Amino acid sequence: MRLRGVKSSRNVQVRKGSSRGGRVGRVGILGVLAVLALSYFTGIDLTPMLTGGGGAPMQQSQPVSEQDDEMVQFAAKVLTTTEGVWSRVFEEQIGQPYVPPQLVVFSGVTQSPCGGASGATGPFYCPIDQKAYLDTQFFIQLERQMGAGGDFAAAYVIAHEVAHHVQNQLGILGQVDQARRQSSQREANALTVRLELMADCLAGVWARSVEGLMERGDLDEALNAARRIGDDTLQRQAGRVPQPHTFTHGSSEQRSRWFERGFDSGQISQCDTYAADQL
């Protein structure tokens, strides 16, 4: 991906480490319900937030090293491209202003209003503070453990998390959250799959708009990444038989196909997975 000359976004927050450990305080019943609801909605285990004052110390974010600085700069430039794309797309396609999210870059472990963030949880978007969280080591895992290397594969992951912010601004996250609360676990998973496939499609819309920055092989890198992090592929890698009713992000084929749909159309309207009879 050609990023030389692209300015770094100012909406990047680098979490420096702390020499002190911390403990998660007790929360009231409303806090408990909020945490459990977010766990149910996002698919992230946020129950460690409920640990009382006598619980285990929480590990703090480690300092972002000089070796990580290149990744920080890369992420900041990719974020700049998303800001330009979505500002333009919002104006042209829905007639609304776009307010970009912040990207929190950290190393190791950090905290968010949606719970703990680490390389184990992977990048995620927190609608409470409207920030995306990214561990600098995740892209190493993406390449070495998942077989999805390449700078555009990494850019696709960032664009996917920004797409969740787009969904949040469009009011989709709140609507899905409400629907999930009234659903069984199987139904809730199905709703989340559609949410994630929509984000893949919106990432494809972004990719089409930055086509001038793409190099030979970049599209293949993104499609490969989408396939490598499909639920069926990840379950097989874990030694399990894929169980579609447990999927929360979609199959490898679905993820790559919805990304291509966004790339081919460049239209938000073509990413409405909830209107699709089949995914």
Please give the pLDDT value at position 119.
63
Does residue 147 lie within any of the structural domains? yes
Please give the pLDDT value at position 215.
87
Instruction: Find the helix packing angle between 172-181 and 29-42, rounded to 10°.
Output: 110
Does residue 40 lie within any of the structural domains? yes
The b-or-e profile of 95-121 (16+ CB within 10 A means b, else e) is eeebebbbbbbbbbbbbbebbbbbbeb
**Is the pTM of the predicted complex or chain greater than 0.85?**
no
Does residue 83 lie within any of the structural domains? yes
- Number of structural domains the chain divides into: 1
Does residue 84 lie within any of the structural domains? yes
> pLDDT tens across 80-122, in order?
999 999 999 999 999 999 999 999 998 878 888 988 876 666 7
Q: Which domain holds residue 56?
A: 12-275
